[in-house]
Amino acid sequence: MAMLSHTTEPVGSESLEKWESVGSGGFGHVYKARHRDWGFDVAIKLLHDGVGFYSSAPIHKEKALAEEASHMDKVSCEFVLRVYGLYEGIPPLGGLAMQKGIVMEFMGGGSVQALLQDLSGPPPWPLVFRLAHQVALGMNFLHSRNLMHHDLKPSNVLLNDEFNAKLADFGLSRVSTSALNSNNEMTGEAGGTYKYMPPEAFEASYEPVRAFDRYSYGILLWSIVTGKEPYPMAHSSLVALRIPEGDRPPCKEINHREAEGLEELVDLMKLCWDQNPSKRPTFKECLEVTEKVFSKHKKEIHGAVHLVLTRLESHTRYQHLNTRVPFSFSPETPESSKSHETMDHVRVT
């Protein structure tokens, strides 16, 4: 495949064992497998579902795959998902056809979207502040390398076993199947992406710039703080109409007294989703706020992670995670975690 000209040698099926299905998205299917030589688990995102021959993978997807691979050299950052290389082979699950895909770091904690769903609300405050900070760190790194994400949303922020965040899909997201119409034009409707798109992006002549990601970050902060999906009942065409008119998710339910630094984070969120792109702060500026507010809760992070693991231990998705109390954790529930538990919308099954 001439398009995939990256120097990394493709990973073939013979190098991988113990395949398990993880889930599907707009781009294809994701599997988990153990790399025989490396001895650890990796995630493999396949381009299509294995129906037909591999030449049937749409050109825009192959292009995106090549783009993602070429970003590998530019991005090596703790807060951006690591891509190990390309996959080419016949996977034991998912059909008999030759398939192409991308081999990535496996993230045992799932996505922020899944976490909010499984907790039926936001995580404890220390984790909220850490997620806000780690996403800003990853985005600042991407922007400093002249890369934009363009699909920053809770399902594209993945979590490791300790719920540390890494950005995913910054190459693939721009052309995921559902975001392309039959003419391969961007429609913006990629699994809720409209809701994270800035007002100016709904104009026909729009060329994406960094301010796009800054807006998405504002909406993402709202989702993490409230544990909710923005505009849950609204049809995408209504969202596309109202965002340019200035509609934003509601902030009146957020009680600033719940946690130290929350007011500053909410102020940052509102600046990020400003109607005027030039007023949105850079990620470097966001970091000044997120670092400061996270520092107020840093000591309680182990307790907060443990609390989340305990709440989620009955969910199959998290059963492989270690729910033992970290040695550095004092068994009392941290004050700032308790306060978030008392919010109405935190109902954990």
Contacts of 344 by beta carbon, 8 Å cutoff, 6+ apart: none
Q: Cβ of residue 103: shortest distance to ligand ATP, in angstroms?
A: 9
User: Is 99 an interacting residue with respect to ligand ATP (CB under 6 A)?
Assistant: no
Residues 35-74 that bind ligand ATP (CB under 6 A): 43, 45
Span of 51-59, 67-75, 150-158, 257-265 interacting with ligand ATP by CB under 6 A: 150-158
How many residues sit close enough to ligand ATP to count as binding (CB under 6 A)?
A: 26
In the chain the first and final C-alpha atoms are separated, in Å, by 48
User: Is 103 an interacting residue with respect to ligand ATP (CB under 6 A)?
Assistant: no
Nearest to 101 by CA among 10, 175, 173: 10
Identify whether 151 is a catalytic site residue.
Answer: yes
User: Site mask, ligand ATP, residues 190-219, x = CB under 6 A?
Assistant: xx----------------------------
Is 128 in contact with 95 (CB distance < 8 Å)?
Answer: no
Q: Which residue is nearest to ligand ATP (CB)?
A: 25
User: Site mask, ligand ATP, residues 13-32, x = CB under 6 A?
Assistant: ---------xxxxxx--x--
Q: How many CB atoms lie within 10 A of CB 14?
A: 8
Nearest to 145 by CA among 200, 83, 72: 72
User: Is 92 an interacting residue with respect to ligand ATP (CB under 6 A)?
Assistant: no
Contacts of 230 by beta carbon, 8 Å cutoff, 6+ apart: 195, 196, 219, 222, 223, 249
b/e burial code for range 148-161 (CB count within 10 A of at least 16 → b): bbbbbbbbbbbbbe
Q: Cβ of residue 86: shortest distance to ligand ATP, in angstroms?
A: 14
Is 311 in contact with 123 (CB distance < 8 Å)?
Answer: no
Of these, 107, 131, 139, 321, which contacts ligand ATP (CB under 6 A)? 107
Q: Cβ of residue 267: shortest distance to ligand ATP, in angstroms?
A: 29
User: Is 87 an interacting residue with respect to ligand ATP (CB under 6 A)?
Assistant: no
Tokens encoding 14: 């013979």
**Which residues are marked as active site?**
151
Q: Footprint of ligand ATP on this chain (CB under 6 A)? A: 22-27, 30, 43, 45, 81, 104-107, 110-111, 114, 155-156, 158, 168-169, 173, 176, 190-191
